[in-house]
Amino acid sequence: GHCTQGYDIFLDWNAFFFMECLTNFKAGHGPDPRAGWFKGQISFIEFYIIPLAERCSALVPSCEAVNGARTIVNTWKLQGEEFTKDIIDRSGREEQQEQAHHMAKYTEKNDRVKSTTDGSGKDNTKSKSKKNRLWRRLASFHRRKKNTTHRNSTASISSDTQ
């Protein structure tokens, strides 16, 4: 549907689909979409979407899918290469940010492990206990608030039904 509904809609769904294909590739499922994305979209629209839309138009003469698909493929031929470069660059930046995030988490975890002992085998976590108490207190507050809200909403529902 998005291949016939307007160029902006096409670009949105195209970006989502590209990221899905890239994620699958990184997980070991399917080819790398970066190499042939631009030309692949042209082929898909010209050899699959437009013929399908033409068959639909034969059944429903008022169907505008053919015109929409042709407009999109013509605009894609003019602007799609730049869009493809941008989305590949964006995916690369997101990958670098993700790697930096994982590295920061790994470093933080190692720092916590190192800070719990001073070489003598003694636990030095008491210095961090004030911060941990604050986080536990905050989590406890949110749990109590959630439970109170749930009890109040259940009580009002049961009183409404009586």
Q: Render pLDDT for 91-118 as a digit per residue (tens, 0 to 9).
A: 888 777 777 777 777 776 666 655 555 5
Query: Smallest Cα–Cα separation from 40: which of 64, 23, 18, 67?
Result: 18
Q: What's the CA gap between 67 and 61, in Å, rounded?
A: 12
pLDDT for residue 24 is more than 90: yes
Distance of CA 148 to the CA centre of its chain: 34
Query: Smallest Cα–Cα separation from 45: which of 17, 16, 66?
Result: 66
Distance of CA 124 to the CA centre of its chain: 40
pLDDT for residue 147 is more than 70: no
> Mean pLDDT for the chain?
78
Instruction: Tell me if 73 sits within 8 A of 45, measured CB to CB.
Output: yes
- Provide the b/e sequence for 46-61 (b: ≥16 CB within 10 Å): eeebbeebeeeeeeee
User: Tens of pLDDT along 37-86?
Assistant: 999 999 999 999 999 999 988 888 888 898 999 999 999 999 999 999 99
pLDDT for residue 133 is more than 50: yes
Q: Is 41 exposed, middle or buried (0-12, 13-18, 19+ CB in 10 A)?
A: buried
Query: What are 58's two structure tokens?
Result: 């034969």
